[in-house]
Structure 1
Amino acid sequence: MISFKAPSNIALVKYWGKKGEQLPANPSVSFTLTNCFTETSIQYEHRSTSPLASTEDFSFNFSFEGQPKPSFHPKINTFFQRIAPYMPFLKDYHFSIASHNSFPHSSGIASSASAMAALSVCLIKIAKNLDPTLTEEQFWQQASFLARLGSGSACRSVQGSIVVWGTHPSIEGSSDNYGIPYPLPVHEIFRSYQDTVLLIDRGQKQVSSTVGHNLMHGHPFAEARFAQANQNIERLISCFASGDVTRFIEIVESEALTLHAMMQTSIPYFILMRPNTLEVIQRIWRFRQDTKEPLSFTLDAGANVHLLYPKSSKAVVHSFIQEELASFCENGQYLHDEVKQELL
């Protein structure tokens, strides 16, 4: 059996807009998380000997949280179609795929990144078993490359604590084709940064991320946004090196609000934030002003709020969450997490 545990990630500089085949219109940088992950296992056997083998192009079965999930099959089949040119062995084997999340399903946490990353690394492990000449560098690059074809942000959930996806002139080795571990200096304060996810709304988004990305084509502010993302990465490089948390807060909050501004100014336009999202943001700002604690927020493409703060602020922020913010979460739910501990 082949297994891999892939973490979720939260982008600091956001990618919004695609080109070509799942390529980013602008580079992005993310924190890789620790506690929110998807673990996937695959058993495989040659189709000629498998009693489970089907007559379809790709033969597989899938279970989630221990239960068969045929509703997931179309997405996996589409993914296999995309990656088959790079992994021709896919048509020769039957795959029994089992997956589970460390966080509740439909909890409001996007799981496509961790799910596709976990599946992709498992497939690359199988490829390496079939072709042991695959080097360590090739292994991780190809895993991230495949994950991108399943879900763009999944390429940032394969390897690293801080990950860059997309070509940026100041980051050597950066690529549109796959994510890489951030290769530049990182101050100690960011190595143990905390992320608490406030689950504001667990409902289905009325506009999918795929649709949202496509609305950047012809968007009146698209080019300015792409330029801004590149500039913010340049500024973030300086923050990471110096430990400048004040400037870090300015960048990540601006990025979060810009992401949602792009949604609100596309045609058709849409709003994914909820009233409680806005109330939480206002309270974070007031808390930061009153206490001088470096608590900040970022947003994904949804209503949930990620609270970002140094480990030294953990106790006071947790008290603030319990006393003031939990009531704005659906069923009072939130998840504590932190940046994945790896060599940076």
Structure 2
Amino acid sequence: MFLDGKEETSFLPKTLKFFHRASFYCSYLRYFDFVIETYNNFPHSSGIASSASSMSALALCIMEMEKKFYSSLKEESFFLRKASFLSRLGSGSACRSIYPGLVVWGYHKSIKGSNNFYAIPYPYKIHPIFQNISDTILIVDKNPKKILSSKGHKLMNNHPYVKDRIKSANKNMIKLISILKTGDFRKFGELIEHEALTLHAMIMTSRPYFLWIKPNTLHIIYTIWEFRIQSKKNIYFTLDAGANVHLLYPIQERKYIIKWIYNNLFSYCEKIIESFVHK
């Protein structure tokens, strides 16, 4: 494996495990040797889903191979479903990265077609305000995390609060369906912030307990809260399993907000990555 042109042996164990699991569903993989050359425009293992991007890319490559072997494989929906299923064997988040736009992974009684084995495109009405969302990523710490996401997930198995956490997540999904339909960005933002803080609260109360967030993560959060009260702007944060911060806001407000971000938050982070979510 090569990352940005340099051999990267630290990725091999996880990748080999992924290929081993995938070979049960794609037996032809056992007859090949692979050289993987990859690159990324953001730091890996730092809590902004680098494993999701890598495993979903690998799954799509495998399915492109399968399409060449089986001429009957022409249905795009099956192609994407199986790619999502395979990528989940390497990273849960990866199964959502197969599709553009809003995606659902995990069975929920209120979402038709949802299941635990692969992700699906969100099947219901989406208000136009959510079809173009700016996502500005603040890299607070680009170093690999001391506790990787996979280990963090394992700590949830015996967590005393995990059952209530699952109930809360399901209730929030019901709320989100309504929010996505009506276009209430404030309620959307409050919900994603609550979800992000709940995730980190679970990690802080696990055994062993630890913190993914850094002091500058908290500086950013408090600064956003103060700015939102003063400006009435729709800017909200979310956190993955790490110290880095995603800022989500409507693309219509981007010109004003992006200027404010560089003027007020740049000092708290090592790098700013500008992106957007487009359906």
Q: Normalization by structure 2: what TM-score? A: 0.96
Q: Specify the alignment match of 2:139 in structure 1.
A: 199
Per-residue deviation, 1:238: 0.6
Q: Specify the alignment match of 1:295 in structure 2.
A: 235
Q: Are residues 151 and 287 of structure 1, via their aligned partners in 2, closer, same or farther at CA, if it must alter by over 3 Å?
A: same
Q: Specify the alignment match of 1:260 in structure 2.
A: 200
Aligned residue for 1:334, secondary structure, equals strand
Q: Specify the alignment match of 2:6 in structure 1.
A: 67
Q: Are residues 106 and 143 of structure 1, via their aligned partners in 2, closer, same or farther at CA, if it must alter by over 3 Å?
A: closer
Question: Which has the higher mean CA deviation after the structures are superposed, 204-213 or 188-197?
Answer: 204-213
- Residue 263 of structure 2 is aligned to residue 334 of structure 1: no
State the distance in 2 between where 1:335 and 1:295 align: 16
State the distance in 1 between where 2:93 and 2:20 align: 19
Within 5 A, what are the aligned runs for 1:71-82?
71-82=10-21
Within 5 A, what are the aligned runs for 1:204-243?
204-243=144-183
Within 5 A, what are the aligned runs for 1:39-188?
62-104=1-43, 109-134=48-73, 135-188=75-128
Per-residue deviation, 1:217: 1.3
State the distance in 2 between where 1:252 and 1:74 align: 33
Letter in 2 for 1:328: Y
8 Å Cα contact 1:108/1:203 also seen in 2: no
Q: Specify the alignment match of 1:304 in structure 2.
A: 244
State the distance in 1 between where 2:205 and 2:42 align: 32
8 Å Cα contact 1:166/1:177 also seen in 2: yes
State the distance in 1 between where 2:143 and 2:16 align: 26
State the distance in 2 between where 1:201 and 1:166 align: 30
Larger strand proportion of the pair: 1
Residues 121-152 of structure 1, C-alpha deviation per residue, up to 9 Å, x if partnerless? Answer: 00011011101222222111100000000111
Aligned residue for 1:184, secondary structure, equals coil
8 Å Cα contact 1:145/1:155 also seen in 2: yes
Residues 68-113 of structure 1, C-alpha deviation per residue, up to 9 Å, x if partnerless? Answer: 3333222221111111110100111232322112335577633100
Instruction: Please list every run of 5 or more consecutive structure 2 residues that lacks an aligned counterpart in the other structure.
Output: none
Question: Which has the higher mean CA deviation after the structures are superposed, 208-217 or 185-194?
Answer: 208-217
Aligned residue for 1:255, secondary structure, equals helix
Q: Are residues 104 and 262 of structure 1, via their aligned partners in 2, closer, same or farther at CA, if it must alter by over 3 Å?
A: closer
Deviation beyond 6 Å, 4+ runs, structure 1: none
Percent identical among aligned pairs is 47
8 Å Cα contact 2:44/2:144 also seen in 1: no
State the distance in 2 between where 1:161 and 1:264 align: 31
State the distance in 1 between where 2:237 and 2:275 align: 14
Q: Are residues 291 and 309 of structure 1, via their aligned partners in 2, closer, same or farther at CA, if it must alter by over 3 Å?
A: same
How many residues in Structure 1 have an aligned counterpart in Structure 2? 278
Per-residue deviation, 1:64: 1.9
State the distance in 2 between where 1:69 and 1:114 align: 16
8 Å Cα contact 2:43/2:143 also seen in 1: no
Aligned residue for 1:306, secondary structure, equals strand
State the distance in 1 between where 2:114 and 2:44 align: 33
* Correspondence for 1:247 among 155, 166, 187: 187
Aligned residue for 1:96, secondary structure, equals coil
8 Å Cα contact 1:108/1:199 also seen in 2: no
Q: Are residues 327 and 209 of structure 1, via their aligned partners in 2, closer, same or farther at CA, if it must alter by over 3 Å?
A: same
State the distance in 2 between where 1:338 and 1:326 align: 19
8 Å Cα contact 1:156/1:163 also seen in 2: yes
8 Å Cα contact 2:45/2:148 also seen in 1: no
Residues 4-24 of structure 1, C-alpha deviation per residue, up to 9 Å, x if partnerless? Answer: xxxxxxxxxxxxxxxxxxxxx
Per-residue deviation, 1:306: 0.5
Per-residue deviation, 1:65: 1.5
